[in-house]
Amino acid sequence: MSTEQQGGQKTATASKVAPATGKLGVMVVGLGAVATTMIAGVEAVRRGLAKPIGSLTQMGTIRLGKRTENKVPMIKDFVPLAKLEDIVFTGWDIFEDNVYESAAHAKVLDEKTLAELKPYLETIKPMPAVFDQYYVKRLHGTHVKQGKNKRDLANQVIADIQAFKKTVDRVVVIWCGSTEIFLEPTAVHESIEAFEKGLEDSDTGIAPSQIYAYAALSEGVPFANGAPNLTVDTKALIELSKKKAAPVCGKDFKTGQTFMKTVLAPAFKARMIGGAGWFSTNILGNRDGEVLDDPQSFKTKEESKLGSLDYIFQPELYPDLYKDIYHKIRINYYPPRGDDKEAWDNIDIFGWLGYPMQIKVNFLCRDSILAAPIALDLVLFLDLAKRSPELRSIGIQEWLSFYLKSPQTAAGLYPEHDLFIQSMKLKNTLRHIMGEDLITHLGLEYYD
Ligand X SMILES: NC(=O)c1ccc[n+]([C@@H]2O[C@H](COP(=O)([O-])OP(=O)(O)OC[C@H]3O[C@@H](n4cnc5c(N)ncnc54)[C@H](O)[C@@H]3O)[C@@H](O)[C@H]2O)c1
Quick one: which of 17, 20, 24, 32 contacts ligand X (CB under 6 A)?
32
Provide the CA 436 distance to its chain's centre, in angstroms. 26
Out of 371, 379, 380, 426, the only residue in the binding site for ligand X (CB under 6 A) is: 371
* Shortest distance (Å) from residue 33 CB to ligand X: 3
CB of 128 to ligand X, least distance (A): 9
Instruction: Identify which range of 19-27, 90-98, 271-279, 306-314 contacts ligand X by CB under 6 A.
Output: 90-98
- Tell me which stretch binds ligand X (CB under 6 A): 26-34, 44-52, 63-71, 428-436: 26-34
When the beta carbons of 371 and 391 are compared against ligand X, the nearer one is: 371
Beta-carbon count within 10 A of 280 CB: 22
Residues 330-369 binding ligand X (CB under 6 A) are: 367-368
User: If phi over 0 gives left and psi between -120 and 50 gives alpha, with beta otherwise, what is residue 268?
Assistant: alpha
Spatial contact of 242 and 211, defined as CB atoms under 8 Å apart: no
- Determine if 33 is a binding residue for ligand X (CB under 6 A): yes
Contact call for residue 41 and ligand X (CB under 6 A): no
DSSP conformation class of 69: G
Between residue 225 and residue 244, which ones bind ligand X under the rule CB under 6 A?
226-227
Is residue 257 a contact residue for ligand X (CB under 6 A)? Answer: no
Contacts of 166 (CB under 8 A, 6+ apart): none
Using CB under 6 A as the binding rule, whether residue 370 contacts ligand X is answered as yes
How many whole angstroms separate alpha carbon 186 and alpha carbon 198? 11
94 binds ligand X (CB under 6 A): yes
Amino acid at 233: D
Helix (H), strand (E) at residue 223: strand 223-225
Contact 233, 213 (CB under 8 A): no
Query: What's the closest the beta carbon of residue 229 comes to ligand X, in angstroms?
Result: 7
What are 343's strand-pairing partners? 282, 363
CA angle 137, 141, 145 (to 5 degrees): 120
Nearest-approach distance from CB 130 to ligand X, in angstroms: 6
* CB hemisphere CA count around 392 (13 angstroms): 17
Q: Find the residue with minimal CB distance to ligand X.
A: 32
Dihedral through CA 120, CA 123, CA 124, CA 125, nearest 10? 150
Tell me which of 25, 208, 275, 407 binds ligand X, using CB under 6 A: 208
Count of residues that bind ligand X according to CB under 6 A: 35
| Cβ-Cβ contacts under 8 Å for 135 (sequence gap 6 or more) | 180, 181, 207, 208, 209
130 binds ligand X (CB under 6 A): yes
**Least gap, CB of 299 to ligand X (angstroms):** 13
CA dihedral 12, 16, 21, 26 (to 10 degrees): -70
- What is the x/- site pattern for ligand X, positions 139-178, by CB under 6 A? x------------------------------------xxx
Which residues contribute to the site for ligand X (CB under 6 A)? 29-35, 92-95, 106, 129-131, 136, 139, 176-179, 208, 226-227, 252-253, 255, 286-288, 291, 367-368, 370-371
